[in-house]
Amino acid sequence: MESLWSKLSAALPINEEQFPLQFSDKVESSVVEMLTRSRHQLYSTTRSNNQTLYAQVVLDISWERLNTGTWRDVDKDWRRLYSYGCLFKVAALCRESPSEHEILQAVRTCDMGLLMGAAVMDNILQVFVRILQSEIRKTTKEETDYVEAKMSLKMKCHTFSKRMKIVVPRVPPIKEELAVERIKCPSLESFNTKYLVPLKPVILEGIIDHWPALNNRPWSLEYLRSVAGCRTVPVEVGSRYTDEDWSQTLLTINEFIDKYILEKVQDSQSGERAVGYLAQHQLFDQIPELKEDIRIPDYCCLGEGDEDDITVNAWFGPTGTVSPLHQDPQQNFLAQVVGSKYVRLYSPEDTDKLYPHQSQLLHNTSQVEVENPDSERFPKFVRAPYLECVLQPGDVLFIPVKHWHYVRSLDVSFSVSFWWS
Amino acid sequence: MSWFGFGFNAFGQICVQEKSVQEETSDAVGEVKVSVPVELRSHVDHSCCLKTCQIRASWSRRACLHESRCVWLAGFSASSISNDTRGCRDAIISESHLTLAFPDRIESWDVQRKDKTPLWSMEIIPQSESSGIWIFECTEHQKITTNMLLHVFCHFHTGVNLPLVPGGYIASKPPIFRSLAPHLQAKSLALGGDHVILLTAPGAVYSWGLGSHGQLGHGGLVSEEEPRTVEALWGVPMSSVAAGGWHSVCISEGGDLYVWGWNESGQLGLPSRGLQKAPQQKKAQPTELSDVSTPEEEPHDGDKHEEVFISIQAFPALLDVNPSSDFQRASCGSRHTAAVTTSGCLFTWGWGEYGQLGHQTFNSLDEPRRVEFFKAKDLHVVDVVCGPWNTFTAAVKKGVLDLKNT
């Protein structure tokens, strides 16, 4: 039986000389020296009582550089450096018969590198995390079988906590004259002529029925846990991103499901359930296994961009997640996989009635609370015409570029969005 | 007077530990992280650095300014740097540059290469020490993008005060020289990670640069290209300023300490969400999302109160220190702060992962704590200088101080 370490080291270069450490001048030689020492430790046969030390130094210095200036301006080399730090830390954690806790720490370290770093050595962190995950699955198979049975039950009977404030009706009735049009499997040409060119919203039915996520590998909480439960993801905490108490944190998918979907842990003193949302995250780049369960809609080929330029985001959360009314600079296919969502759409022509924020940061977001508008502060809003719909699993909503949209989840929901041009 | 150092030491910039060749399992942690303050020794003659009058530190190096007007370097490839530093009055060191101030010139060297000439230099025409006006020319040598020649009138202060230079200041990355308007009456300047704090002769504070973490103190997260007054401090004359990676500190003439910027490791001395609580206070289910509602269990306190955590302090806040003290000097590392009181105590707080707080642990702190090491050894701390991940303090024996005062 191959040890974990032998599997991991098989993915590494055979010796120190073959291990590349190339950086631009921006990375000071003292920092490269730290990396060199880490690399030396990796291939050294002498045991050091603290192998994670140099790796941690690399992580700490690159973390500081990553947080200097604006994210956009961060030199790619600092992100690569961070990934190297993660690599060395994982190696140090898994060198000598690691415990399950250490393996989980190693998975988390890989994820931090995938989230914040830049791919190095043919995306070695992705290779590492796959090896580590299979190690975990071996040990926790029995546990999961038992928990799965309990969880599928919980997902079926979702109840409201009495403490939750219900401000709006649970499932808003859709007025027929305001409903977004629906069409089943239109031809490319038909979609292009009737909806893309005139920039008209529409719900496409039947176009994702072939997705494994809706077919042979149906997405459920149990499935997500089994494929990616120990993986760390960014979670938004707070009712909406325009609120003062909104923040982002990192959780494993297991922790996120326990805390925010199944509400196992109460941490809010006031008794109100905090909303957590795995939102706008390129989950499928981080977890390729899930990418296998979805497909890029054919209609995206009607755009001018490359397939590589299409941004695919995951949106996974409990009931009541709200995306405030906002607009995006690209075309959007919003595919509903699990659960349902209420969506309202406003045309860019009516922007003057939607009171966007003045600040640079939020100028694409409206100040108005769509389902509870302040008519004194925003008098024109009630006169703005709109379309609305409830998305069910299997629906794909076409949101034309710059179209204002507001989204509220009506139960545990998983959507996938495709931003294309 | 002796200098002590503690914190990050991976390059031997605090001390080089004697290691026997046979020893395979060396105390790797102890080498890299110095948690107990160590007296600095000169590399020249292995005696105590009695003649060192000032220390400057970058991430991987330490520069000592000697009374003999020489600069000695310790740390990463220090021995390969062979500048003639005789007559040097002041120095500052960043990870990439070493800047030296001589009576007649200022030079900036690329510390990663073995150039024969400085990357940038500036001539100063010396005037008599009592004169009020300096006139000088500034020219730039090789590799600088802008070419400038300027004549500036400015007030002369006793001694050079890097990074301030006549007409402006020396930045940590190119362009090396940045000009400053004379009307600002620059008295001292602190370079932060990506921001600058300026103290003027009348005691006002200006800030500019990156504002993303509130480090400018103007109340928002907006960056500033030009010096802007920190209005919240208007009316309180300040006597010194310091800047860290993403935070800023200043001390008033009355000895009060003001802090602002990022508090992710408690470097502001305000409650920080991210910090581990001491074992006895740890609750059964610690969560990463310790939020506003986690109450501290105080035995004497009857009612539950909400603890407010501060992640970013965008306006200056007056720091309450226990026991109440008058501060005379402060310095900031990338994520920690150290301050000296008029009574000779050293307080530290913030990120402590490398032992840079000097409390003989690797814990971070979100409230100022006195460094007991100096008190226990009857040492009166007179100065403190922080590198990004370490701290250096100058101290004298209390007995010596008393003698001097009689």
**pLDDT band with cut points at 50, 70 and 90 for residue A18:** very high
- Phi-psi group of B366: left, alpha or beta (phi > 0 → left; psi -120 to 50 → alpha; rest → beta): alpha
A74 interfaces chain B, CB cutoff of 8 Å = no
SS3 letters for chain B? CEEEEEEECCCCCCCCCCCCCCCCCCCHHHHHEEEEEEECECCCCCCECCCEEEEEECCCEEEEEECCCCEEEEECCHHHCCCCCCCCCEEEECCCEEEEECCCEEEEEECCCCCCCCCEEEECCCCCCCCCEEEEEECCCCCCCCCCCEEEEEECCCCCECCEECCEEECCCCCCEEECCHHHCEEEEEECCCEEEEEECCCCEEEEECCCCCCCCCCCCCCEEEEEECHHHCCCCEEEEEECCCEEEEEECCCCEEEEEECCCCCCCCCCCCCCCCHHHCCCCCCCCCCCCCCCCCCCCCCCCCCCCCCEEEEEEECCCCCCCCEEEEEECCCEEEEEECCCCEEEEECCCCCCCCCCCCCCEEEEEECHHHHHCCEEEEEEEECCCEEEEEEEEHHHHHHHHC
**Predicted TM-score (pTM) above 0.80:** yes
Q: How many CB pairs under 8 A join A and B?
A: 77
Burial of B20-50, coded b for 16+ CB within 10 Å and e otherwise, reads eeeeeeeebbebbbbbebeebbbeeeeeebe
Query: Average pLDDT, stretch A5-26?
Result: 91
B206 to B124, B183, B241: CA distances (angstroms): 26, 12, 10
Residues in Cβ contact with B182 at an 8 Å cutoff, skipping those fewer than 6 apart: B152, B153, B154, B167
DSSP A179: B
How close, in Å, is residue B21 to chain A by CA atoms? 14
Residue B127's pLDDT is 54
Per-residue pLDDT reduced to its tens digit, A313-334: 999 999 999 999 999 999 999 9
The one-letter code for the residue type at A209 is D
Cβ–Cβ contact B77 with A under 8 A: yes
First to last CA, chain A: 50
Average pLDDT, chain A: 88
Number of other CB atoms surrounding residue B72 within 10 Å: 18
CA distance A268 to chain B (A): 6
Of A50, A68, A265, the CB nearest to B29: A50
Q: How far apart are CA B269 and CA B276, in angstroms?
A: 15
| Separation in Å, CA of B293 to nearest CA in chain A | 5
Containing A144, the helix (H) or strand (E) segment is helix A124-156
- Select the residue of A29, A50, A268 nearest B28 (Cβ to Cβ): A50
- Is some CB atom of chain A closer than 8 A to the CB atom of B296? no
CA distance A323 to B22: 63
Residue B136: HSE in the Cβ half-sphere, 13 Å Cα cutoff = 22
Chain B interface, best mutation among A60, A244, A265, by max B CB count within 10 A: A60
Q: How far is CA B171 from CA B174, B194, B384, in A?
A: 7, 10, 21
Please tell me the predicted confidence (pLDDT) of residue B196: 97
Considering only CB atoms, which chain B residues are within 8 Å of A237?
289
The reported pLDDT for the residue numbered A247 is 82
Q: What is the ipTM of this complex?
A: 0.84
Nearest CB neighbour to A69, from listed B27, B95, B194: B194
Contact criterion met (CB < 8 Å) for A46 and B24: yes
Q: Per the structure block, which two tokens stand in for B89?
A: 């009055």
pLDDT in tens, A349-364: 999 999 999 877 788 9
Among A34, A60, A270, select the one facing B293 at the smallest CB separation. A270
Task: At B243, give phi and psi (nearest 5°).
Answer: -140, 140
- Closest by CA to B14, choosing from B80, B61, B78, B81, is B61
Q: How high is the pLDDT of residue A387?
A: 97
A-contacting residues of B 235-274, CB under 8 Å? 245-246
Contact A30 B288 (CB under 8 A): no
Residues in chain A with CB shorter than 8 Å from the CB of B210 are: 68-69
Cβ of A67 under 8 Å from any chain B Cβ?
A: yes
Q: List chain B residues with CB under 8 Å of A64.
A: 193, 245, 334-335, 388
DSSP assignment string, A335-351: EEEES-EEEEEE-GGGG
Catalogue the E-assigned strands of A262-370: 276-281, 311-317, 322-326, 331-338, 341-346
Query: Which residue of A30, A64, A96 is the best one to mutate when testing the B interface, meaning the one whose CB has the most B CBs within 10 A?
Result: A30
- Burial (CB < 10 A; 0-12, 13-18, 19+), residue B387, is buried
pLDDT value at A236 more than 50: yes
- Cα angle for residues B16, B22, B27 (degrees, 5° grid): 45
Contact indicator for B279, B270 with CB cutoff of 8 Å? no
Between CA B138 and CA A298 the distance in angstroms is: 64
Query: Which residue stretches of A158-281 are H helix?
Result: 188-191, 221-228, 253-256
Tokens of A212: 């494994």
Contact list, A249 vs chain B (CB under 8 Å): 288-289
The pLDDT score that the predictor gives to residue B145 is 25
From the list B11, B212, B306, the residue facing A30 with the nearest CB is B11
Q: What is the pLDDT of residue A248?
A: 87
- Please give the pLDDT value at position B131: 41
The tens place of each residue's pLDDT in chain B, 406 residues long, gives 899 999 999 999 998 876 544 444 456 677 899 999 999 976 555 444 457 789 999 999 999 888 777 888 889 987 666 567 778 888 999 998 899 998 888 999 888 887 788 888 888 876 554 443 333 334 444 332 222 222 222 223 335 688 998 889 998 888 889 999 999 999 999 999 999 999 999 999 999 999 999 999 999 888 999 999 999 999 999 999 999 999 999 999 999 999 999 999 999 999 998 785 544 333 333 333 222 222 333 333 334 455 788 999 999 999 989 888 999 999 999 999 999 999 999 999 999 999 999 999 999 999 999 999 999 999 999 999 999 999 999 999 887 666 655 4
pLDDT of residue A63: 94
